[in-house]
Structure 1
Amino acid sequence: MSPVRYELVFADETGSAQDVVTVERTSSKGPGGHAVYADATGIIRAEISEQDEVRILASGGHQAPAQHVLARRLTETDPNDPPGTAGTSAAPA
């Protein structure tokens, strides 16, 4: 299962200036088939692969996707998953 939350770190070309935004997994899949994550406003949307590769997705017109973005995992598993079922489906009891 994909992590629930990531921090997206947006850096300028020199890497000195950084903005950090927390995003959470949505029920959507991106064009590459990976989970889509969004911030609380829905303005920042990103497709993040299992290898933490980031593709920023446009959420409106006239947007220029960021080029220098790093994804940092904040959670490894969904806290709503039953214990011991990471990456598997639990059978109903």
Structure 2
Amino acid sequence: MKLIDTKNQLNDKEKHIGKVVGVDNATLTNIQLKAGEEIAEHDSKNEAIIIVRKGKVRFTVEGKPVEVTPEHILHMTPLEKHSLHAIDDTDLVLVQVKP
């Protein structure tokens, strides 16, 4: 068992993106954004699962906008182009599943 700390980083700085843990078939990354911050369009060779722990973020996936909150989990397949915009201060976990 391993308990992983993902404390709030936004008090000390703006945007925070940090790898939390890597295992054989996945990487978990904690992303924290202040309201209004964005991550430009990109894609990933890996399958991606987004779990929002706090806030609301608008993803644009292949040109289609979708708002993601703690009530949702977003799944994206490899190579789907996407960007994100934090509507509120947001804390999310990105799980990249390796083939």
TM-score by length of 1: 0.32
CA radius of gyration, larger in: 1
TM-score by length of 2: 0.31
**Which structure would you say has the larger RCO, counting Cα contacts within 8 Å and 6 or more residues apart?**
2
Q: Which has the higher strand share?
A: 2
